[in-house]
Amino acid sequence: MKKLFLLLTVLLLISCEETITPDLKTAAPKLVIDAAIDWEKGTAGNIQTIRLTKTTGYYQTEVPKVSGATVIVTNSANTVFNFVEVNTGTPTGQYVCNNFVPVIGETYKLTVTYNGQTYTAEEKLKQTPEISNDVEQIKIGLNNDQIGIRIKCTDIANQKDFYIVKVQSPANAFPEFDYQPDTFSEGNLLYFIYSHEKLKKDMQINFKLYGVSERYYTYMKILIGNASGGANGPFQVPPTKVRGNIKNQNDEQDAPIGFFSLSESSKLSYTVK
């Protein structure tokens, strides 16, 4: 949907784009907890990574990595999964667990202790349907001259579902995201279209589909909106503060940025024809 509006905008506006560097304020650094547990279908899901970083000035090239935190996840049976900091001499901000046990529908609790503050969150592991192998390559764009890839999955019946697709493509220097609820397609086929003006023959595109909770979906929707810098142009929804599900037990007002989410995921690789 969003991509289409981008096309609309470009088509309509005899617009002009220019990179500028306005003066920006930098707020005091905040802790960022990137805790998305990803259980790829067909794997044991025992290896999981949580990243701890801090916010930084907008024009900075690197974000500060957080070292020395304690990161654990527990399940409803109080089994503790330790996430151990990867130490390479310089801080990596990566905390890895090698014995995680993912179970669909199970409730997990995240506890991060850092600088005397304790951060916690609770979330269920969500189920994800398989991406269908039936991938269509279509023509899209202003003159129907851009490559579009349409993937689909069958929505899980009889429940409200929310999906996020992560796309890694040589056409773009960083991953791209799309999102969709099952509102229009309950229990039915669900389509996602990926297109990029630089898509070319023989490029290998990696899709990953995640079933997510409604809260994580809303969070990602705001986050993707903020990150895409108003690709919606004049139809842009104003950017807004994002609030995740992680609480600071010591100071309610000082919640970290980030989300604790757990999803099964389905992978598909497609080579552009």
Partner 1 sequence: MKKILLLLFAFFVANSIKAQEKFTINGTLKDAKTTETLFGANVYIVELKVGTNTNEYGFYSLTIPKGEYTLKISYLGFETLEEKILVTQNVKKDFALTENNQTLEEVKVDSYKKRSEIKNSEMSVNKLSIQTIKKMPAVLGEVDIIKSILQLPGVTNAGEGQSGFNVRGGSADQNLILLDEATIYNSSHLFGFFSVFNSDAIKDLKLYKGGIPARFGGRLSSVLDIYQKEGNKEEYKYTGGIGLISSRLMAEGPISGGKGSFLVAGRGTYGHLFLKLADNKNSAYFYDLNTKLNYKLNDKNTLFLSGYFGRDQFDLSGGFINTYGNSFVNLRWNHLFSDKLFSNLSVIYSNYYYGLNLDFFKFDWQSDIKNFNLKYDFKHYLGNALKLTYGVNAQYYEFNPGTIVPTSSNSGIIARQLDRKFAIENAAYFDVDQKLSDRFSINYGLRFSNFTRLGEQVVNIYTNNQAVVFNNDAKIYEKATPIGTKFYGKNKTITNFNNLEPRLALAFAFDDNQSFKASYNRMSQYLHLISNTSSPTPLDIWTPSDNFFKPQILDQFAIGYFKNFSDDKYSIEIESFYKKMKNRVDYIDGAELIANNDLEQIILNGIGRSYGLEFFLRKNTGKLQGWVSYTISRAEQQTPGRNANETGINDGKWYKSGFDKLHNLSVTSTYKKNERWSYGAIFTLQSGQPSTFPDGKFDYQGISVPNFGLRNENSLPAFHHLDVSATYVPKPNKQKGWQGEWVFSLYNLYNRQNAASINFRQNADTAASEAVQFSIFGVMPGITYNFKF
Cα distance between residue 247 and residue 111, in whole Å: 10
Cα–Cα distance, 17 to 6 (Å, whole number): 14
Sites for partner 1 among residues 71-90 (CB under 8 A): none
The Cα angle at residue 166 between residues 152 and 69, in degrees rounded to 5 = 145
Is 37 an interacting residue with respect to partner 1 (CB under 8 A)? no
Nearest distance, CB of residue 148 and partner 1, angstroms? 7
Q: 99 or 142, CB closer to partner 1?
A: 142
Whichever of 79 and 234 has its CB closer to partner 1, that residue is: 234
Is the CB of 94 or the CB of 102 nearer to partner 1?
A: 94
CA 215, 63, 115, 106 dihedral sign is: positive
Positions 154 through 183 that interact with partner 1 (CB under 8 A): 155, 166, 171-175, 177, 181, 183
The binder of partner 1 chosen from 188, 204, 249, 250 (CB under 8 A): 188
Q: Please identify, among the stretches 1-9, 70-78, 101-109, 123-131, the one whose residues bind partner 1 according to the rule CB under 8 A.
A: 1-9
Q: Considering the complex, state which of residue 84 and residue 189 has its C-beta at the smaller distance from partner 1.
A: 189
Site residues (CB under 8 A) for partner 1, limited to 4-23: 4, 7-8, 11-22
Least distance to partner 1 from the beta carbon of 261, Å? 10
Of 6, 40, 49, 55, the one binding partner 1 by CB under 8 A? 55
DSSP string, 109-172: EEEEEETTEEEEEEEEEEP-PPBPS--EEEEESTTS-EEEEEEEEEPPTTS--EEEEEEE-TTS
What's the CA gap between 122 and 14, in Å, rounded?
Answer: 48
Site residues for partner 1, 196-235, by CB under 8 A, read: 198, 215, 218-219, 221-223, 226-235
Tokens describing residue 90: 């310089």
Whether 127 and 105 have beta carbons less than 8 Å apart is answered as: yes
* Rounded distance between C-alpha atoms, residue 220 and residue 218, angstroms: 5
Q: How many residues belong to the site for partner 1 (CB under 8 A)?
A: 96
Report the nearest approach of partner 1 to the CB of residue 197 (Å): 9
Reference 6, options 167, 137, 197; nearest CA is 197
